[in-house]
Structure 1
Amino acid sequence: MQIDDCWQAPHRGPNNEPIADPEKYVTSHQSILGLPKICTHPTVAIIIRFPSGIKHLSNQIHALGLKLGIYSDAGTYTCGKRFGSLGYEINDAQAYADWGVDYLKYDNCYNEGLSGTPSISATRYRTMRNALNDTGRPIVYSLCQWGEDQVWNWGATIANSWRISGDIYDNFDRPDDRCPCPDSSVPCPLAGFHCSVMNILEKAAGLGQKAGPGGWNDLDMLEVGNGGMSYDEYVTHFSMWALVKSPLILGNDVTKMSPETKSIISNKEVIAINQDAEHSAGYRVWKKPTPNGRQGNLQLWKSYLSHGEFVLAFINASPQQIGSYVISLSEFFIDEGQWPMSRTWTVKDLWNSTGATSIRQVHNAHNNQIPITMSSDYKDLQLIVNNIPSNGIKLLKLTEQQAEKTDDRRDRTRVPISWLYLLKVGIDGYMLCLVSYSNVPLAFY
């Protein structure tokens, strides 16, 4: 459970400690004790309840088997103009630890100009990292730095996740001048807000190599169920956030979910992709124009899972449904070389219980798990995906059938190795160092 902005009282305590706002009742168009209306709803009466403080709430949440997240800002004020943590990092970190907080979202508003270069921003965020570590309590540290100052290049040295863009909003692909930067290829001077799902995904396309176990690109919260997109668009949204291993933070009202919304956010096999921490984030293999010059584009993404499984995501980012599309698996398996061609695989559509996938001339399947055998003609191997809706996705898991698997040692030794060298460490110690350009995990025997 994440408590976002505006949980704070108007002012710090007598020893500059952070304190929570006690119970208040706010009528329409009023603010709390002079606080700005950004922390209140403009038309609806609000009751804010922290009468017993955050520690009491934390105990209740932990008793339910849940974790507690809290919000602060690496500035003099939060974005809602409550007190920020800049200059008070030690006080605040210790308070969070004493309260039993498990997660800190750390924002970027009112930063007193301490941004503009990676070094300046990293120093500001590192101060809170050090303060959290000094408490001795494990607290997940999430930078809400909006992708400024190329945070993906230094975020992993400081935090567990880092935002790569301005704030998301509930739209699939609408351009908005308030989110002016189209991708992450050049420094973004103004991250903005009102960034669509596809705008943020475009920024994530080249950043998979920056993420890994312990530190992940954060594509912002999920909009699933908020009403601004179609069912198929929400499925694409949730699937891709899972594939690139962004934190899956629900941004909808969980007390008022439709069955459709619940079915999307509770798909266990899609969540399992996100939670498989042995491999890096998924990445884009290619982006191509739609057939016949129609509006939009098609995208092929790939991810690795434990035990040698693969995930293939095919996005139809266009206004028209696609009846069928042929994917060359030589492109999908470009990093694996020749070995997949002789194996038997099960292909499972993770969103469709009546899968519609086939290999080359094999008939279209009528069940959800389709055994396929790679032919010896590797260059011509093709995967046919059918009935991809507008702005929809085909999310397929490829699992090698156990009966056909050969010795895993032979599989792994086929991975191309760039360098293998011995490093001397200290006086008597040595380290064997392997550097590989492959995304396939390596093993020594």
Structure 2
Amino acid sequence: MPFDTVVTETALKETARKDSALAPTPPMGWNSWNRFRCYGLSEEVVLGTADALVASGMRDAGYEYLVIDDCWQAMARGADGSLLSNPERFPHGMKWLGEQIHARGLKFGLYLAPGRQTCAMLYDSYPARELGSFGNEELDVATLVGWGVDYLKYDWCQADAGGTGLSYPGAFERMARALAAAPRPIVLSISEYGKSKPWEWAGDYAHLWRTTSDINASWRSVMRLVDSQHGLARFAGPGGWNDPDMLEVGNDGLTPVEARSHLMLWAMLAAPLMAGNDLREMSAETRELLTHRGILDVSQDALGWQGERVARFGQLEIWRRELGDGHVIGLLNRSRAWVDAASDGVSLLADARDGAGMRALAALPEGAVDVWTGAAASAASWRLAPHEMLLLRGR
């Protein structure tokens, strides 16, 4: 069906309907943007990252998508209008690179934009022209299929500029229709930064949708994005996920405690886990965090219910996520001071009120285990460092 055909809104959505089975749990993988942005991206980086995903145990832990973000493209389309890879930084081309990624047991992701320009052209002075998919959606999908792409990040990047007439959600529906007609299944990740409340309209055809502006490697940024997720849980579930952006674990700017809390919060939010650090040079501490089985089991729980903040006591927050075999309670210390159960007069037990005025925060799960340490949890003996999160899993 050509894109200029007049169709009803209902028919348009039907032709763009996704295969929900492609993302039964929040997708996991790695994306190049946070660490390498535009000009640090190359074939060497991608192949080294693919090897690191395997050698580190991340692939086996579930990080299956290797997503190459903006700036992989040549400066212009080919004579037939097809996208080409940058010949200097990707000399072997994308089909060959996709084969290398697949040979390592990984899945291949690429970046496109729905307008005339990509974000790097706008914000990183990438000296290219007409790299956006506007008017080329079907051709670009055919190119992706020919290269063996499994995952598409589709980034708004002022898609309404240059006389395109595009708007939300129409710009993304155009690509979704082309993907739905493709002979190869491709996960669709859309990014319009939460500007048009995509959680209300993207679920029919996208597998994940950005709910926020871009993250950076700071505690302030992590907290800003977390706060913006309040009230969105009902829109997510198997096949379609709220996406508060990629992970900054392992990048300079977060302390080890903050990085752990960041990952725990994304797990509680049932958010996609897209690592954004240099996997080739990461520390053992970062590798152990990213592959922590207890946190990833919460993230990938098959029930697919997004967790929520359920209470606040000053700078101490209580989170809860339902799981297929129980639930997880999270305590998050947002303050710059230590929080001690004994000294601050608080307890996890719902009925814990004594003569000293103990205040109950939440019910301790039956058989509760500290997700981070694997040890049995106590209601009375816990202590949180500044910006630390504690997860307690039980029935």
TM-score (norm 1): 0.66
The alpha-carbon deviation at position 392 of structure 1 amounts to: 0.4
- CA RMSD between the two structures: 2.4
Letter in 2 for 1:316: N
CA distance in 1, matches of 2:142, 2:107: 18
Which residue of structure 2 lines up, in the alignment, with residue 87 of structure 1? 135
The alpha-carbon deviation at position 358 of structure 1 amounts to: 2.0
The alpha-carbon deviation at position 158 of structure 1 amounts to: 2.2
The alpha-carbon deviation at position 352 of structure 1 amounts to: 2.5
Secondary structure at the counterpart of residue 275 of structure 2: coil
Letter in 2 for 1:299: E
CA distance in 2, matches of 1:89, 1:6: 18
CA distance in 1, matches of 2:216, 2:330: 23
Letter in 2 for 1:75: G
Match of 1:218 among 212, 223, 243: 243
Render the CA deviation track for 1:230-262: whole Å, top value 9, x for unaligned: 111111100011111111001100011111111
Which residue of structure 2 lines up, in the alignment, with residue 430 of structure 1? none
CA distance in 1, matches of 2:118, 2:304: 35
Match of 1:17 among 66, 69, 82: 82
Which residue of structure 1 lines up, in the alignment, with residue 317 of structure 2? 299
Letter in 2 for 1:312: I
Which residue of structure 2 lines up, in the alignment, with residue 316 of structure 1? 333
Render the CA deviation track for 1:415-434: whole Å, top value 9, x for unaligned: xxxxxxxxxxxxxxxxxxxx
CA distance in 2, matches of 1:328, 1:98: 57
Match of 1:264 among 285, 289, 293: 289
Structure with more of its chain in strand, by fraction: 1
Q: From the CA coordinates, give the structure whose radius of gyration is larger.
A: 1
Match of 2:309 among 273, 284, 296: 284
Render the CA deviation track for 1:397-438: whole Å, top value 9, x for unaligned: 113xxxxxxxxxxxxxxxxxxxxxxxxxxxxxxxxxxxxxxx
The alpha-carbon deviation at position 15 of structure 1 amounts to: 1.0
CA distance in 2, matches of 1:237, 1:327: 22
Which residue of structure 1 lines up, in the alignment, with residue 214 of structure 2? 167
The alpha-carbon deviation at position 344 of structure 1 amounts to: 8.8
CA distance in 2, matches of 1:151, 1:347: 36
Structure 1 stretches of 4+ with a deviation exceeding 2 A read 112-115, 327-331, 352-355
Letter in 1 for 2:288: S
Which residue of structure 2 lines up, in the alignment, with residue 203 of structure 1? 228
Which residue of structure 1 lines up, in the alignment, with residue 24 of structure 2? none
Which residue of structure 2 lines up, in the alignment, with residue 395 of structure 1? 391
Q: Is the 8 A contact 1:114 1:120 kept in 2?
A: no
Which residue of structure 2 lines up, in the alignment, with residue 247 of structure 1? 272
CA distance in 2, matches of 1:253, 1:226: 8
Percent identity of equivalent pairs: 36
Secondary structure at the counterpart of residue 69 of structure 1: strand
Relative distance call for 1:346 and 1:63 in structure 2 (3 A) is same
TM-score (norm 2): 0.74
Which residue of structure 2 lines up, in the alignment, with residue 350 of structure 1? 371
Match status 1:142 vs 2:138: no
Q: Is the 8 A contact 1:94 1:132 kept in 2?
A: no
Which residue of structure 2 lines up, in the alignment, with residue 364 of structure 1? none
Q: Number of matched residues?
A: 308
Q: Is the 8 A contact 2:365 2:394 kept in 1?
A: no
The alpha-carbon deviation at position 167 of structure 1 amounts to: 0.4
Render the CA deviation track for 1:331-371: whole Å, top value 9, x for unaligned: 9xxxxxxxxx9x9931110112555x324xxxxxxxxxxxx
CA distance in 2, matches of 1:13, 1:108: 23
Relative distance call for 1:274 and 1:354 in structure 2 (3 A) is closer
Q: Is the 8 A contact 2:260 2:289 kept in 1?
A: yes
Match status 1:131 vs 2:148: no
Letter in 1 for 2:382: N
Relative distance call for 1:150 and 1:344 in structure 2 (3 A) is closer
Which residue of structure 2 lines up, in the alignment, with residue 54 of structure 1? 94
The alpha-carbon deviation at position 328 of structure 1 amounts to: 4.8
Secondary structure at the counterpart of residue 148 of structure 1: coil
The alpha-carbon deviation at position 264 of structure 1 amounts to: 1.0
Match status 1:65 vs 2:89: no
Letter in 2 for 1:97: V
The alpha-carbon deviation at position 133 of structure 1 amounts to: 1.1
CA distance in 2, matches of 1:230, 1:51: 38
CA distance in 2, matches of 1:172, 1:14: 47
CA distance in 1, matches of 2:161, 2:75: 23
Render the CA deviation track for 1:204-240: whole Å, top value 9, x for unaligned: 1211111111000111110011120111111110001
Q: Is the 8 A contact 1:114 1:124 kept in 2?
A: no
The alpha-carbon deviation at position 100 of structure 1 amounts to: 0.7
Render the CA deviation track for 1:287-331: whole Å, top value 9, x for unaligned: 231xxxxxxx11111111113x11111101000011113135489
CA distance in 2, matches of 1:279, 1:9: 39
CA distance in 1, matches of 2:214, 2:321: 25
Render the CA deviation track for 1:258-301: whole Å, top value 9, x for unaligned: 11111111101211111123232111111231xxxxxxx11111
Match status 1:156 vs 2:200: no
Structure with more relative contact order (C-alpha pairs < 8 Å, separation 6 or more): 2
Letter in 2 for 1:152: W
Render the CA deviation track for 1:42-78: whole Å, top value 9, x for unaligned: xxxxxx2x22211111111111110011001111110
Secondary structure at the counterpart of residue 204 of structure 1: coil
CA distance in 1, matches of 2:369, 2:162: 49
CA distance in 1, matches of 2:73, 2:302: 34
Relative distance call for 1:114 and 1:129 in structure 2 (3 A) is farther
CA distance in 2, matches of 1:62, 1:392: 37
CA distance in 2, matches of 1:398, 1:354: 12
